């Protein structure tokens, strides 16, 4: 399907079917192909905030925070795609944030984990890369706090850490690919921007699962375990044992790793109190 975009009045784009991109809750994503001197090129086109009924002021607030949030994540050690251009756009009776981004090929982590043709070593590598990145956060950037009734480690920002927001490219480089809505934290440990239009969880619960290291790991691991074991090729017992070994090898503080392992062994009781996958 050929389309013309308001930002690019001279270029014809074709929307390309692409396997490997999971449907997001807050954005619509397409692959656009265009031609320059008979060479075809592709770009990722995001419509962030689609269907969320954002006002112009709300969309522009989130738009302004994208780049500062992006720089925070890069500083923390995450690899992110290049963003070529962003803008706030009226779409019907709502406003969305459009972005044109580098296409990281390879399919997202959710697509990869459920694919029985993908070898287990790539799935292990994705999980290990996530844990190693989180473990490498500078100690001075972390705080020990009681959040949702549990002492845990608050990170300098939140992130929507789930398989669908990760891409392991052909060269084995892991990318975090979802910045919307920006999950920045102010100096008091509260959300800088928070909207019930984007997040159904209460603010503290959202902190627990997106901005604490333990909560983010537990949420990420539980989904990975469910999808990977359902796809076959590994048992729950084997995956939990291997995950525990990798967790210990990251050299995160023992108190943190003990909490994560005990939560998994007990069936995620704390995580269940603050979060269920269908709500975020």
Percent of the chain with pLDDT over 70: 98
Q: What are phi and psi of 45, to 5 degrees?
A: -115, 120
Closest CA relative to residue 156, chosen from 252, 216, 72? 72
Lowest-confidence range among 15-24, 43-52, 123-132, 255-264?
A: 15-24
Q: What's the confidence (pLDDT) of residue 278?
A: 53
Q: What's the confidence (pLDDT) of residue 1?
A: 67
Tokens of 52: 């969320």
Rounded mean pLDDT, 46-66 = 97
Task: Please provide the average confidence, as pLDDT, over all residues in the chain.
Answer: 94
pLDDT of 280 > 90? The answer is no
pLDDT of 262 > 50? The answer is yes
Q: What's the confidence (pLDDT) of residue 99?
A: 96
Q: What's the confidence (pLDDT) of residue 136?
A: 97
Closest CA relative to residue 178, chosen from 196, 192, 193, 163? 163
Tokens 């992130």 locate to 159
Rounded mean pLDDT, 143-167 = 97
Domain residue ranges of the chain, discontinuous segments joined by +:
2-101, 109-279
Q: Tell me the pLDDT tens digit for each residue of 191-226.
A: 999 999 999 899 999 999 999 999 999 999 999 999
Residues 160/6, Cβ–Cβ less than 8 Å: no
Q: Tell me the pLDDT tens digit for each residue of 60-79.
A: 999 999 999 999 999 999 99
pLDDT of 110 > 90? The answer is yes
User: What's the CA gap between 120 and 202, in Å, rounded?
Assistant: 36
pTM, full prediction: 0.94
pLDDT of 279 > 70? The answer is no
Q: What's the confidence (pLDDT) of residue 106?
A: 85
Q: Tell me the pLDDT tens digit for each residue of 165-198.
A: 999 998 999 999 999 999 999 999 999 999 999 9
pLDDT of 21 > 90? The answer is no
Q: What's the confidence (pLDDT) of residue 190?
A: 94
Helix, coil or strand: residue 34 = strand
């Amino acid at each position: 399907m050929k389309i013309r975009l308001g930002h690019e009045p001279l270029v014809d784009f074709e929307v390309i079917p692409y396997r490997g991109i999971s449907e997001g809750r807050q954005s619509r994503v397409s692959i656009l192909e265009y031609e320059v001197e008979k060479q075809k090129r592709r770009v990722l086109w995001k419509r962030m905030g689609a269907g969320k009924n954002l006002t112009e002021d709300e969309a522009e607030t989130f738009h302004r925070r994208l780049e500062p949030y992006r720089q925070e994540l890069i500083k923390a050690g995450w690899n992110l795609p290049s963003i070529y251009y962003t803008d706030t756009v009226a779409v019907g009776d709502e406003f969305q944030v459009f972005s044109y981004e580098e296409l990281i090929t390879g399919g997202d982590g959710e697509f990869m984990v459920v694919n029985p043709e993908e070898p287990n070593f790539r799935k292990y590598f994705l999980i290990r890369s996530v844990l190693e990145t989180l473990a490498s956060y500078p100690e001075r950037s972390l705080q020990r706090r009681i959040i949702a009734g549990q002492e845990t480690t608050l990170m300098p920002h939140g992130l929507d850490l789930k398989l669908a927001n990760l891409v392991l490219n052909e060269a084995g480089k892991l990318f975090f690919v979802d910045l919307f809505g920006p999950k920045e934290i102010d100096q008091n440990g509260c959300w800088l921007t928070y909207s019930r239009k984007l997040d159904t969880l209460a603010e503290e619960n959202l902190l627990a699962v997106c901005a604490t290291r333990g909560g983010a790991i537990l949420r990420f691991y539980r989904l990975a375990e469910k999808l990977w074991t359902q796809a076959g090729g590994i048992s729950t017992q084997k995956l939990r044992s291997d995950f525990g070994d990798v967790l210990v090898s990251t050299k995160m503080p023992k108190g943190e790793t003990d909490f994560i392992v005990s939560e998994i062994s007990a069936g995620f009781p704390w995580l269940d109190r603050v979060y269920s996958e269908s709500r975020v």
